[in-house]
Homo-oligomer: A and B are copies of this chain.
């Protein structure tokens, strides 16, 4: 049976798998990234990982789809990863990898790859036009239309995390100000929790983390809110409202029947879906939005890995249009 390889390259670990085109995973392995060793060493580690997976299963993959925490050129050949240690500019990842593993390689931004996973193996099975938000350490996005991932010619688009929500808001890691990511990412929410702790505005959260700011995060904050911490509830409510504004803007532009929220922060229950939905109803007035659904990812943390399978098998993606 034909199998495809999928790799999710992260800042701390490289997750790899072999799967069928139906999305059934037949082999799985994870290794540390150790990006400080530089691009060549990491790419070699990825090549070795794919070869080990093939040995585990006893069959070579037909192709590899790989998600990266940054952006590839439109043809998916060269990648730029600003957030990894080492000089990850203009790295010819595809040219290096293909001889190592003996099959075609396609590269894609990790959140666009998760969108592709959701499109081909998740909500997209019934709703092939959808917008996707991944809310974690950063915030990324993707958009699929009529069964195909939207891909701009430049290879980068759908940067929902880096559009302006508050023009004079906090400085963003990207260099701009008041991006959604500064208001609703895991670190952004955590920073507001730390602010509450340090200014004595919370007792439930303080008790929960034993006064240790290092233990404040969206998960402990969601727990504090569930236990009745009104200050933390307000912070999470505001973050959810900012996300609701961002979702409203995406709906105003694309008007998809479905917006999917995924990523680690959504998994912690820190995001209040009712607030997101109420904000959308208040903000989008140019057309009825009762039929625009806002739902959690059906695939959770597996959206990216499954997106790599779709990428390798060239399902839901038209490279010719890029």
- Secondary structure at the A interface, as helix, strand, loop or mixed, is loop
How near does chain B come to A108, taking the closest CB pair, in angstroms? 14
Alpha-carbon gap, A302 to B164, bound state (A): 32
Of B167, B248, B254, B282, the contact of A157 (CB 8 Å cutoff)? B254
The interface bits of chain A over 149-169 (1 if a CB of B lies within 8 angstroms of the residue's CB, else 0) are 010111011111011111100
Whether A248 touches B163, Cβ cut-off 8 Å, given contacts A153-B129, A255-B154, A255-B156, is: yes
Instruction: Determine whether A283 belongs to the interface, using a CB cutoff of 8 Å to chain B.
Output: yes
Alpha-carbon gap, A285 to B249, bound state (A): 19
Residue on B nearest A160 in the bound complex, by CB: B253
Check A287 against B71 for contact (C-beta < 8 Å). yes
How near does chain B come to A211, taking the closest CB pair, in angstroms? 33
Instruction: Determine whether A67 belongs to the interface, using a CB cutoff of 8 Å to chain B.
Output: no
Check B167 against A165 for contact (C-beta < 8 Å). yes
In the bound complex, residues from chain B placing their C-beta under 8 Å from that of A300 are none
Instruction: Determine whether A146 belongs to the interface, using a CB cutoff of 8 Å to chain B.
Output: yes
Alpha-carbon gap, A76 to B185, bound state (A): 40
Of B154, B250, B282, the contact of A287 (CB 8 Å cutoff)? B154
Instruction: Determine whether A58 belongs to the interface, using a CB cutoff of 8 Å to chain B.
Output: no
Check B257 against A175 for contact (C-beta < 8 Å). no
Check B285 against A152 for contact (C-beta < 8 Å). no
Which residues in chain A, 123-145, are within 8 Å of chain B measured between CB atoms? Answer: 129, 141, 143, 145
Alpha-carbon gap, A256 to B150, bound state (A): 12
How near does chain B come to A115, taking the closest CB pair, in angstroms? 13
Instruction: Determine whether A224 belongs to the interface, using a CB cutoff of 8 Å to chain B.
Output: no
Of B143, B162, B166, the contact of A286 (CB 8 Å cutoff)? B162
Check A253 against B159 for contact (C-beta < 8 Å). yes
Residue on B nearest A151 in the bound complex, by CB: B255
Chain A positions within 8 Å of B, measured between CB atoms, are 71, 129, 141, 143, 145-146, 150, 152-154, 156-160, 162-167, 172, 174-177, 242, 245, 248-250, 252-257, 282-287, 291, 321
Chain A to chain B: the 9 pairs with minimum beta-carbon distance, closest first: A152-B255, A157-B255, A174-B285, A175-B285, A156-B287, A163-B249, A159-B252, A163-B252, A159-B286
- List 15 A-B residue pairs with CB atoms under 8 Å apart, sorted by A's residue number: A71-B286, A143-B253, A145-B150, A153-B255, A153-B257, A156-B287, A157-B253, A160-B252, A163-B249, A163-B253, A164-B245, A166-B167, A175-B282, A176-B248, A176-B285
